[in-house]
């Protein structure tokens, strides 16, 4: 008997021709699924994250329902910062009761091993690897240093994150030191997820798009490189998603990333022209397209596929997370179109 075909997701990450175009969806385990909402009626968000059996259940819900090509661990990008000494809660977004406001605040931060601070995450990863089908790889993830920097300096969510952006300018040395500290924590967190069984590792950079290319390149990109270099020996794909980062792509050309996520604001053909052929692209359907009728959704999905062209390194995804009021049947239709766009 011949060996089964390699998982299409991993083949596309490696820029090898997959047996079909892979698709997964950011926030695919979440509020648009009735089975998730039923769990949320019984448990708080942090309870779901910190209880391995529940986190496994939420991760598996979309895999049971849809023919997806990858699973992503149910967790939150803020999870590791508690171990640094930050007082974190969700209301519903992240709130830090003791943010960094001066360089002296860095002295109170601590570093601990992931096995001590996030054992529930690692247990969930180990269980998921045993329960997921062989053709559905598990993606582990973390928040990029600058995105976490924004939250731990601002103290919560913001449209402009002016406090952290101002901190970058007022205290550049302290800012870089904090970014490096965050990078080291995230690196250890991602390595622990890999050791537990994650088959790809993704870095979500939700707020780097607030920066100009020069500031990003000089102050922020080195912390991303620090993580990438620290993961080089794992041999698993590394995905970097700079949301809102279309103006930053020139600075990423030539970086040793396996996959770069692209939001819906930039056609994939233009992203490919900027980044070159030595990287796979992930994306980039506008999440709003899921509210179109079936014909409109089909056209939008095919447009993304056309923009991706014939390069084997394309992983279909949304350009951001799925919205909570999306009809799950629309997701099923999208997956069918991606897997057979000519149908």
The structure's pTM equals: 0.96
Question: Tell me, what's the pLDDT at 5?
Answer: 84
Helix pair 294-308, 328-339: axis angle to 10 deg:
40
Burial class (CB in 10 A: 0-12, 13-18, 19+), 89: middle
HSE, CB side, 13 Å, CA atoms: give it for residue 266: 23
> Are the CB atoms for 55 and 74 separated by under 8 Å?
yes
- Structure-token pair, residue 269: 């053909």
Chain-centre distance for alpha carbon 43: 24
In the chain, what is the greatest distance between 2 CA atoms, to the nearest angstrom? 64
Alpha-carbon span 186 to 314, nearest angstrom: 26
Give how far Cα 73 sits from Cα of 55, 58, 121, 236, 287, Å.
Answer: 8, 9, 9, 16, 20
Question: Tell me, what's the pLDDT at 341?
Answer: 77
Enumerate helices (H) and strands (E) in the chain, giving the number of each.
Answer: 15, 9
Active site residues: 27, 31, 40, 76, 151
> Are the CB atoms for 158 and 168 separated by under 8 Å?
no
| Degrees, nearest 5: CA angle 151-155-161 | 55
| Strands, E assignment, 257-324 | 259-261, 280-282, 314-315
Q: CB under 8 Å to 278, separation ≥6 — which residues?
A: 15
Run means of pLDDT, 10 residues per run, the chain, 343 residues:
78 97 97 97 94 98 98 95 94 92 96 94 98 97 97 94 96 97 97 98 97 96 97 98 96 97 98 98 98 98 97 98 98 97 71
> Are the CB atoms for 314 and 17 separated by under 8 Å?
no
Alpha-carbon span 100 to 121, nearest angstrom: 26
Alpha-carbon span 180 to 174, nearest angstrom: 10
Question: Tell me, what's the pLDDT at 332?
Answer: 98
């Amino acid at each position: 008997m011949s060996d089964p075909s390699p998982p299409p997701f991993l083949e596309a990450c490696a820029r090898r021709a997959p047996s079909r175009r892979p698709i997964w969806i950011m926030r695919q385990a979440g509020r648009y699924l009735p089975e998730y909402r039923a769990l949320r009626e019984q448990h708080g968000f942090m309870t779901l994250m910190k209880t391995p059996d529940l986190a496994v259940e939420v991760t598996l819900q979309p895999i049971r329902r849809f023919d997806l090509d990858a699973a992503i661990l149910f967790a939150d990008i803020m999870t590791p910062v508690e171990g640094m000494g930050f007082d974190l809660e969700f209301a519903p977004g992240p709130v830090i009761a003791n943010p960094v406001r001066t360089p002296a605040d860095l002295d109170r931060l601590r570093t601990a091993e992931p096995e001590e601070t996030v054992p529930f995450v690692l247990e969930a990863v180990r269980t998921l690897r045993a329960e997921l089908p062989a053709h559905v790889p598990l993606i582990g993830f973390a928040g990029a240093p600058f995105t976490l920097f924004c939250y731990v300096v601002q103290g919560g969510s913001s449209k402009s994150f002016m406090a952290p952006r101002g901190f970058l300018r007022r205290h550049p040395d302290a800012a870089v030191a904090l970014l490096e500290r965050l990078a080291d924590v995230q690196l250890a967190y991602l390595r622990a997820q890999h050791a537990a069984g994650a088959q790809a590792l993704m870095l979500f950079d939700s707020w780097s798009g607030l920066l100009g290319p020069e500031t990003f390149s000089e102050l922020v990109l080195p912390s991303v490189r620090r993580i990438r270099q620290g993961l080089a020996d794992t041999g698993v794909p590394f995905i970097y998603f700079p949301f809102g980062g279309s103006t930053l792509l020139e600075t990423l050309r030539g970086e040793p990333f396996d996959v770069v996520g692209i939001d819906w604001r930039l056609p994939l053909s233009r992203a490919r022209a900027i980044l070159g052929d030595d990287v796979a692209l992930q994306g980039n359907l506008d999440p709003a397209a899921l509210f179109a009728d079936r014909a409109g959704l089909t056209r939008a999905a095919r447009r993304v596929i056309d923009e991706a062209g014939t390069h084997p390194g394309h992983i279909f995804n949304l350009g951001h997370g799925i919205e909570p009021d999306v009809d799950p049947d629309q997701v099923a239709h999208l997956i069918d179109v991606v897997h057979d766009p000519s149908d």
